[in-house]
Structure 1
Amino acid sequence: MRFRHTALGLLFAAGLSAYSLPVSAAGSGWDNQSSPELKEAVKLIKGEKYTEALPLLTKVTAEDPKNADAFNMLGYSLRKLGNKDDALSNYTKALEINPRHRGANAYLGELYLEMNQPNKALERLEILDESCFFGCDEYSELKTAIEKYKSNQ
Structure 2
Amino acid sequence: MHGLSGRFIAVIFFLLLLPTVAVTAPAEDHWSHTPDEAAGILLDEAHTYIKQGRFDLAMAVLADAAEVSPDNADVWNLIGYSQRNRGKLEESAQAYAKALDLKPDHLGALEYQGELFLLTGDIASAEGNLQRLRELCPQGCEERDELAEEVRAFRKKD
TM-score (norm 1): 0.79
Runs of at least 5 residues in structure 2 that lack an aligned partner in the other structure: 1-28
Distance of 2:33 and 2:145 partners within structure 1: 16
Letter of the structure 1 residue corresponding to residue 121 of structure 2: N
Distance of 1:111 and 1:73 partners within structure 2: 13
Q: What is the aligned partner in structure 2 of residue 137 from structure 1?
A: 142
Q: What is the aligned partner in structure 2 of residue 6 from structure 1?
A: none
Is the CA contact (8 Å cut-off) linking 1:28 and 1:103 kept in structure 2? no
Once the 2 structures are TM-superposed, how far is the Cα of residue 34 of structure 1 from its aligned partner?
5.2
Q: What is the aligned partner in structure 2 of residue 128 from structure 1?
A: 133
1:113-140 CA distance string (max 9 Å, x none):
0000000000100111111132100000
Q: Closer, same or farther in 2 for the Cα pair 1:151/1:117, shift >3 Å? A: same
Other structure's SS at 1:27 match: coil
Q: Would you say 1:57 and 2:69 are equivalent positions?
A: no
Is the CA contact (8 Å cut-off) linking 1:128 and 1:138 kept in structure 2? yes
Where does 1:17-36 land on structure 2 (aligned, <5 Å)? Answer: 27=32, 35-36=40-41
Q: Closer, same or farther in 2 for the Cα pair 1:29/1:80, shift >3 Å? A: farther
1:23-81 CA distance string (max 9 Å, x none):
x9752679x89521110000110111101110110111122111100100010000001
Other structure's SS at 1:123 match: helix
Is the CA contact (8 Å cut-off) linking 2:100 and 2:106 kept in structure 1? yes
Q: What is the aligned partner in structure 1 of residue 152 from structure 2?
A: 147
Q: Closer, same or farther in 2 for the Cα pair 1:33/1:64, shift >3 Å? A: closer
Distance of 1:111 and 1:141 partners within structure 2: 13
Give the counterpart of 1:98 among 97, 103, 107: 103
Of Structure 1 and Structure 2, the greater helix share is in 1
Q: Closer, same or farther in 2 for the Cα pair 1:130/1:108, shift >3 Å? A: same
Runs of at least 5 residues in structure 1 that lack an aligned partner in the other structure: 1-23
Q: Closer, same or farther in 2 for the Cα pair 1:71/1:40, shift >3 Å? A: same
Letter of the structure 1 residue corresponding to residue 51 of structure 2: K
Percent of pairs with identical residues: 31
**RMSD between aligned residues:** 2.2
Is the CA contact (8 Å cut-off) linking 1:29 and 1:69 kept in structure 2? no
Give the counterpart of 1:68 among 70, 73, 77: 73
